Structure 1
Amino acid sequence: MAADPARMEIFLVATPGLEDPLADEARACGFDAQVQPGGVTFTGGWPDVWRANLEIRGATRVLARIGAFRAMHPAQLDKRARRFPWADWLRPDVPIRIEATSRKSRIYHAGAIIQRFQAAISETLGAPIAEDAQVTLKIRIEDDLCTISLDSSGESLHKRGHKQAVGKAPMRETMAAMFLRQCGFDGDEPVLDPMCGSGTFPIEAAEIAAGLKPGRMRHFAFEQFAHFDDAAWQAMRAAPAIPPAPASLRFFGRDRDAGAIRMSQENAIRAGLADWTRFEPGSISDLTRPEGPPGLVIINPPYGARIGNKGPLFGLHAAMGEVLRNQFGGWRVGIVTSDGQLARATGLPFREPGPYIAHGGLKIRLYLTGPL
């Protein structure tokens, strides 16, 4: 009924559509990862849960599956929830929040499931139940199988800890990391974002190049679980110093909005990457290629549904394509957009676009060229 803490199923929640690059990243981190609907699973113990939160860039959160049992009717759910060894996983002094979903099951009312688990935990463990608790217990009943998971992350993992300022329609760090991976970026080449907003792509690329762990600046819910080994965790998260920036700068952001450039610079300073990045005001029309070897231009341009009217955007995309074709021979271009017509308006030789990805109520895709 309860999982073995040394051999739990660990589930990395993916942004829908980005399961495959997340699995690739997890395997590159040494986890035996398999793609499942909505994410990626592997087996491990608490140190693997900690390391996944600390090191994996593309996961939205990390769930630890701590137990499962069959329940056909509410009385069975009551009884088994009360028999579950909550003290092995949760602390009596730490508030918890409970979420529930049910599919294809005889027990189908989420509110009733939550009430039963709240009663069981209050009466057997004594932990307070609170809507704003940092520790979340997730109950899923599917085909009458009740699976109990702990959200080990707390706040969504795109919150790296350095971004206080964001612009309109920001790109989440977790998504930016997966788009960079889909573009073949491995840290060795220059990256330029000519519409950088709050600087997400250049900062994420610089972090990868510098070998920095994405979770190094934040706290996680697992620090409040029962039997948490703080000394082992502190040893794991002990961060090496940020290496000195290479002699030639490789990570560039531009934006015509001076406020966006200021935001990007502040975010890079908080991330410890001010020396690794350069952010400058400027429009697409006066964009020039940086000195040095070719690399990747990656852009999340405005796409109409997001920021106002579409008409002028065709002209913007055509101008962008012309500048990139004229100035950026040898560079690859990746454009993230919800509108294939806008991507094609650039006149750039895109390959088959990537899968649809859910982003703020829209479906976006990556359009990528080979070297121009």
Structure 2
Amino acid sequence: MTNTQDFEIFLATLPGLEAVLHDEVRTKGFKQARPVPGGVVIRGGWPEVWRANLWVRGAGRVLARLDSFRVVHLAQLDARARRIPWGSVLRPDLPFRVEASCAESRIYHSGAAAERIETAIRETLGAPHAPEDGILVRARIEHDLCTISIDTSGEPLHKRGYKEAVNRAPMRETMAALFLRQCGFDGSEPVLDPMCGSGTFVIEAAEIAARLNPGRARRFAFERLATFDAEAWERMRAVKSARAPAARFHGSDRDAGAVAMSRANAERAGVTEFTEFRQATISEVAPPEGPPGLVILNPPYGTRIGDGKQLSPLYRALGQTLLSRFGGWRVGIVTNEPRLAHATGLPFLPPGAPVPHGGLRVTLFRTGPLPN
């Protein structure tokens, strides 16, 4: 594979959010984007791999697909793995590791499959194997079709590089970005999170509005590949897309520690100028001056923080505050309990698919503009 080659690139997301990620990927100009279970596939070369890691907010990781072939036994897998030109992608001086998964295939032992591929790479390329810190080679064998990919991201992409402080049960930045998109947020309106925790929704909204690349402050696994062109990458990173947002982004929380945490995270992200955090209970929350926008929050829910029955009054108070003060604003609430969402009394639109989050399945409940 060279920098000019065209191959499949897989952008992973949580099941249930593929269509939302597909919408984002299309708006950012990637070609032949199509949603598939677990993510979105695009086509391109290594510059598209770099760009996807740098630009796309909703992807959890970016995989470059090296080869795909039918395989029914381990000896066949071994032979095919040795025919992949590993030296065109991996460097012989840097460690690698292999992870495999098998589903409904005659090769059913993922550990044995990973071992065969690892041996093939080691013996054909000479690169060292390191189970902890190597470039990740992924093999997926499903219905006897084996797809070999390189994880070009390294650390998951929700790790933007600014969030040192987190609260309990934090929302991942990638998920927050997709939920914001599902609520129709495009960066042109204010956002308020009245239970802001570590500030994820507010900071993500501010970054979208300021057109800051989500990957601007971190490193990626593709920088350690044989295909990496440091000069071309620096030129790509140097392109300035930032602008001053027309709106401001607000967070509040009853916990002073959460407010301090959000401010620190916003400062590291470089969005302090556009964000505002203050200590307030739900009953004290009021809309900021200016036009209506979006209220979005990830409140406590029963098996996440606290007990479901004890939380009903909190949701009722939230609904009363929003209905009485936030006419014209839209609302998005993330919870795993429809009963709690409906305790708000808010006029929700039909919900989307549940999404896995922290061992639970959560749903985004959305409204249109609330009545004045």
TM-score range, shorter chain: over 0.9
Could you tell me which residue of structure 2 aligns to residue 69 of structure 1? 69
Tell me if structure 1 keeps the 8 A contact 2:3–2:227.
no
Q: Output one character per residue of 1:123-155: Cα deviation in whole Å (capped at 9) or x when no partner.
A: 111111111124100011223222110011111
CA RMSD of aligned residues (A): 1.5
- Give the SS at the match of 1:106: coil
1:363 maps onto 2:361 in alignment = yes
- Tell me how far apart the structure 1 counterparts of residues 157 and 332 of structure 2 sit (CA, whole Å): 24
CA-CA distance at 1:260 after TM superposition: 0.4
**Equivalent pair of 2:13/2:58 in contact (CA under 8 Å):** yes
- Residue in 2 aligned with 1:170? 170
**Once structures 1 and 2 are overlaid, which stretch shifts more, 127-136 or 202-211?**
127-136
Provide the secondary structure at the position in 2 that maps to 1:207. Answer: helix
**What is aligned with 2:129?**
129
Q: Is the 8 A contact 1:137 1:149 kept in 2?
A: yes
**In the alignment, is the contact (CA less than 8 A) between 1:254 and 1:279 conserved in 2?**
yes
Please list, as runs of the form range in 1=range in 2, the aligned pairs for 1:100-111 lying within 5 A after superposition. Answer: 100-111=100-111
* Structure 2 residue 288 is matched with structure 1 residue 290: yes
1:272-291 maps to which residues of 2 (within 5 A)? 272-291=270-289
Extract unaligned runs of 5+ from structure 1. none
Asked whether the 8 Å contact 1:63–1:151 carries over to 2, the reply is yes
Q: How does 1:283-322 map to 2 (within 5 A)?
A: 283-322=281-320
Deviations 1:79-131 (A, max 9, x none): 22222211011000111110001122222211111111111111111111111
Give the direction of change, closer, same or farther, for the CA distance of 1:5–1:327 in structure 2 (3 Å limit): same
How far apart are the structure 1 equivalents of 2:70 and 2:342?
A: 52
**Match for 2:267 among 261, 269, 272?**
269
Secondary structure in structure 1 of the residue aligned to 2:99: strand
Cα distance in 2, alignment partners of residues 50 and 4 from structure 1: 11
**How many residues get paired?**
369
Aligned to 1:187: 187
Q: For 1:245 and 1:164, how far apart are their aligned partners in 2?
A: 25
Percent identity between matched residues is 60
In 2, are the aligned partners of 1:134 and 1:221 still within 8 Å (CA)?
A: no
TM superposition shift of 1:242: 5.1
Match of residue 255 from structure 2? 257
Letter in structure 2 aligned against 1:251:
F
Distance in 2 (CA, whole Å) between partners of 1:323 and 1:273 is 28
1:244 deviates by: 4.6
Distance in 2 (CA, whole Å) between partners of 1:218 and 1:282 is 33
Counterpart position of 1:354: 352
Per mean C-alpha deviation after superposition, the further-off stretch among 362-371 and 190-199 is 362-371
Which amino acid in the other structure matches residue 20 of structure 2?
A: P
**Structure 1 SS opposite 2:362:** strand
Partner of 1:12 in structure 2? 11
CA distance in 2, matches of 1:208, 1:182: 14
Structure 1 residues 312 and 104: alpha-carbon distance in aligned structure 2, compared to 1, 3 A threshold: closer
* Alignment match, 2:197: 197
SS in 2 for 1:269: helix
Residue 26 of structure 2 aligns with which residue?
A: 27
Answer yes or no: is 1:226 the counterpart of 2:229.
no
1:96 corresponding residue in structure 2: 96
- How far did 1:286 drift? 0.9
Check conservation: 1:19, 1:35, Cα contact below 8 A. yes
Q: Within 2, Cα distance between the matches of 1:41 and 1:53?
A: 14
Separation (CA, whole Å) in 2 of partners of 1:214 and 1:134? 24
Cα offset for 1:54?
A: 0.5
The separation in 1 between residues aligned to 2:366 and 2:245, in whole angstroms, is 28
Q: CA deviation at 1:3?
A: 9.6
Q: Which residue of 2 aligns with 1:42?
A: 42
Deviation of 1:194 after TM superposition, in Å, equals 0.2
Q: Give the residue type in structure 2 aligned to 1:18.
A: L
Distance 1:78 1:242 in 2: 48
Counterpart-to-counterpart distance in 1, 2:175 and 2:244: 27
Alignment-mate amino acid for residue 167 of structure 1: N
* Contact kept? 2:46, 2:227, Cα under 8 Å: no
Are the aligned partners of 1:66 and 1:149 in contact in 2 as well (CA < 8 Å)?
Answer: yes
State the partner residue of 2:158: 158
Give TM-score, length-normalised by structure 1.
Answer: 0.96
